[in-house]
Amino acid sequence: MAQDPTWLTFLKELWNWMIAFFKKLLAIQPVEEPSDPAVDALLKEISKGVTGDATVILSQSYLRALGFPIGNYGPNQNGVDGVYGSASQASVKLFQSMVGLSNSGQLETGTLIRLKEKVYAHATVRDLAQTAGSNGVNLPITASSTRADFVNAVFYYALIDEAETAVPAGVTVAQAILESNYGKSVPVDRATGRYSYNLFGIKGTGPAGTVQDYSWEENPTTGEWEQMLSQFKAYTSFADSIKGHSQFLLENKRYAQAFKTKNAQEFAKAIAAAGYATDSQYAAKLITLMEEWGMA
């Protein structure tokens, strides 16, 4: 009996398809989960004794391992507490911006995967900042920015600056907090209302001129705080203000001793001893802020 040529053709096509399918199936390699005993141990130590939402604990552990400023909450005083508060959310948004994700601040699967990848690749927040800066990533600081958003944005720009000037990012952030009250008390010209972008209360003439505003200064003789009208440097952006702050420290010889240390707390003590501010507790306040935000 003669074979139906249509049926034979169908069988041949089916056979060829099955061969091609199984070749592809055999070629597929299982995706290996990143593994590193040292990193595993670090993450375990970071989250030791912490209870709460498992996803939050994991994300906070990743952020702490990378070096983000998530505070000193939790039983280990390292920001890992299982509660997704403003500090963790702000650092997640910063991370998302750095790696090109939508900075929603949400703990989405894609964000967790990228966090894990970076931790197991032994990356640091400094590495991420340098790459993001090279890619033109900018972070806004606005009147509506939360304290945590302000800290993370300044930290980002300060990390980029640190690579060029050796001014510790933690010191830069702490000074910006202390001098500008988390960006809420930036000098504004009393006569014209001109905004200075001066996060550090640096006096003199800046690249964008000056503004005249009041400041509180401690009288070294009486120990009393007095209000004085002063001339403050003006800048064109907060990023420029951070650069200007570091240049100010570098160009003034009295701060040379500070650059002999790599320790942020010792750097803070050195600039305070050199007379950066009239506040006799200035160094202690900077160190407290660095510890509070997990940047010490």
pLDDT tens digits along 53-66: 999 999 999 999 99
* Contact yes or no for 129/98 (Cβ under 8 A): yes
* pLDDT recorded at residue 144: 84
Percentage of the chain with pLDDT > 70?
A: 91
Torsion of CA 242, 106, 293, 41, to 10 degrees: -120
Residues 6 or more apart whose CB falls under 8 angstroms from that of 279 comprise 218, 285
* CA gap 8, 132 in Å, rounded: 60
Domain ranges of the chain: 40-123, 155-292
214: β partners: 229
- Interval 3-54: pLDDT, tens: 556 666 766 777 777 776 665 555 544 445 677 999 999 999 999 999 999 9
How far is it, in rounded angstroms, from Cα 139 to Cα 174? 18
The CATH number fitting domain 155-292, selected from 1.10.3720.10, 2.60.40.10, 1.10.530.10, 1.20.1050.10: 1.10.530.10
What average pLDDT does the chain have?
91
Phi, psi dihedral angles at 203 (to 5 degrees): -90, 155
- Secondary-structure class of domain 40-123 per CATH: mainly alpha
Q: Report the percentage of the chain scoring pLDDT > 90.
A: 79
> In this structure, which amino acid lies at residue 265?
Q
The pLDDT value recorded for residue 23 is 58
Average pLDDT of 228-235? 94
268-292 pLDDT tens trace: 999 999 999 888 999 999 999 999 9
**Buried-exposed string 108-143: b where 16+ CB fall within 10 A, e elsewhere:** eeebeebbbebbbeebebebbbbebbeeebebebee
Do 40-123 and 155-292 fold alike per CATH? no
Task: Write down the pLDDT at residue 21.
Answer: 67
